[in-house]
Amino acid sequence: MELDFERCYRAVDSRDPRFDGWFYTGVTSTGIYCRPSCPATTPKRQNVRFFPSAAAAQGAGLRACRRCRPDAAPGSPQWDVRADLVGRAMRLIADGVVDRDGVPGLATRLGYTERHLHRMLQAELGAGPLALARAQRAQTARILVETTDLGLAEVAFAAGFGSVRQFNDTVREVFGVTPSELRGGRSGGATAGGAGTITLRLAYRQPLHADALLDFLALRALPGIEEVRDRTYHRGLRLPHGPGTAALTPAGGHVAATLRLADMRDVAPAVARCRRLLDLDADPVAVDAVLADDPALAPAVTAEPGVRLPHAVDGFETAVRAVTTQQVSLRSARTTLTRLIAATRSDDDGAADGAPGGLRAFPSAAEVLAAPDPAFRMPGARRETIRALARAVVDGELDLDAGGDREEAARRLVALPGVGPWTAGYLAMRALGDPDVILATDLGVRRGAAALGLPDTPKTLTAYADRWRPWRSYATIRLWRAA
């Protein structure tokens, strides 16, 4: 990745927080790296280097600034937007795939050789997959050291390190202090709330229209799986090492996240999925700038800046919900799904102890596939479509999660019986995070277009929507709100 020195330096000199996560500032005279908005005195030009990733800065022998905490900055918006190998790899690394399956497992998920994957990441980010995963482990370790009472050896393995020695060496190298010194300097940015519980702040780029996010999620909330109460979104999670729950509350400048986990090794995946669900790594200024160029959308953008695109914590769950919602109301679909959830309950999807309201994760693809016919209170054709989806996921033929190939997933989806362009587009937008989808046949989208005086037939709306590229998914959200 090429970084223009003058543009980066101007961002650092102005302490512009919009660039946090886009790049990192290395200060050779002090041996530290910072986020662009670091409040410290702007370093001299001759003492500055810019890096595309924290891992690249660490590889150059720099340690993280203890004042601006660059590891806590929002992630680069590129990794949610890009559908190429590097974007998919970064989403999977954030989800902890390297920690669980190693680089071979990551390469297998992506369908490339380890050598090619390393070469691409090194060229784009200045670091290979192991270094990128190591940087994330260091961040997770800092969170656990500063916010829980776990023993340091427990922290080491919970963060994904293979040994306590590796953990000690990495913390000392990245943060310039030992783990015990890091614990002694707790910042108060997060707290522990009992065994298996951690509360921390999820940073984002402002502005964030929190009401739009909560409205969207509340309208579609499934009883027993999720709920919105007192401006807090609660939901059950299925995580790699066990069940968990998340409570997410938008606050000034951050989202307060309380995670209740059966296994603390799931901190990084839980954080990554919550960030993705709320679209916290987006660049709302860039999105709104394009949409505001359209006079029809400009008043809405001015009145409600920072409307996000809610993604998914479970791609299969989103697929089942999309199919169930076809040709029926959200209320009717909710009733149907509630019955399916009740019929497929198992001990494996239980929530962590003490979860509010007994929230659990949505049934897995294997559980849905094994459900008897009476569990599906819907037409037979739709039931078989859901089973075909579940079978494709169980067999590994369809990947609807963060690292999935968007084009390949779309091809496989439309090949399934009962899955049409609307369902494939909706899943591309929400499950796979495609920022440039217009659901022109959607009734709510067409009603929103009509309310704003825009063309409201599928053909004319599709043509008109070209002016919203590459953010047509965000325009779709705004049209739903206009409806």
Q: Is 350 left (phi over 0), alpha (psi -120 to 50) or beta?
A: beta
Instruction: Give the model's pLDDT for residue 143.
Output: 86
**pLDDT band for position 180 (cuts 50, 70, 90):** very high
Residue 348 has pLDDT above 70, yes or no: no
Going from the C-alpha of 196 to that of each of 148, 237, 265, 267, the distances in angstroms are 9, 14, 10, 10
Q: Label the pairing between strands 63-64 and 32-34.
A: parallel
**pLDDT band for position 18 (cuts 50, 70, 90):** confident
pLDDT tens by residue, 370-380: 999 999 999 99
CA dihedral 334, 340, 341, 346 (to 10 degrees): 180
Task: Yes or no: say if 206 and 251 are a contact pair by the CB < 8 Å rule.
Answer: no
Q: In the chain, what are the domains? A: 5-54 (3.40.10.10), 78-184 (1.10.10.60), 193-279 (3.30.310.20), 436-483 (1.10.1670)
Site of tokens 């075909």: 388
Task: Yes or no: say if 428 and 414 are a contact pair by the CB < 8 Å rule.
Answer: no
pLDDT tens by residue, 81-132: 889 999 999 999 999 999 999 999 999 999 999 999 999 999 999 999 999 9
Residue 237 has pLDDT above 80, yes or no: yes
Q: Is the dihedral of CA 121, 123, 124, 127 positive or negative?
A: positive
Going from the C-alpha of 251 to that of each of 146, 203, 209, 216, 313, the distances in angstroms are 21, 10, 11, 18, 21
**For the whole model, what pTM was predicted?**
0.91
Task: Yes or no: say if 435 and 398 are a contact pair by the CB < 8 Å rule.
Answer: no
* pLDDT, mean over the chain: 91
Residue 359 has pLDDT above 70, yes or no: yes
Instruction: Give the model's pLDDT for residue 349.
Output: 53
Instruction: Give the model's pLDDT for residue 194.
Output: 53
Amino acid at 337: L
Q: What is the mean pLDDT of residues 178-198?
A: 69
Instruction: Give the total residue count for the chain.
Output: 483
Backbone angles phi, psi at 113, to 5 degrees: -75, 155
The percent of residues above 90 in pLDDT, for the chain, comes to 81
Q: How far apart are CA 106 and CA 129, in angstroms?
A: 9
Range of lowest pLDDT (7-16, 65-74, 432-441): 65-74
The percent of residues above 70 in pLDDT, for the chain, comes to 95
Instruction: Give the model's pLDDT for residue 347.
Output: 57
Instruction: Give the model's pLDDT for residue 310.
Output: 96
Backbone angles phi, psi at 79, to 5 degrees: -75, -20
Residue 455 has pLDDT above 80, yes or no: yes
Instruction: Give the model's pLDDT for residue 354.
Output: 43
Task: Yes or no: say if 276 and 433 are a contact pair by the CB < 8 Å rule.
Answer: yes
Going from the C-alpha of 281 to that of each of 337, 411, 453, 462, the distances in angstroms are 30, 27, 32, 27
Residues designated catalytic: 34, 442
Instruction: Give the model's pLDDT for residue 358.
Output: 80
Maximum C-alpha span of the chain:
71
Give the residue among 306, 315, 254, 257 at the shortest CA–CA distance from 284: 306
Amino acid at 226: E
Q: How far apart are CA 326 and CA 337, in angstroms?
A: 13
Residue 214 has pLDDT above 80, yes or no: yes
Instruction: Give the model's pLDDT for residue 66.
Output: 87
Q: How far apart are CA 228 and CA 247, in angstroms?
A: 9
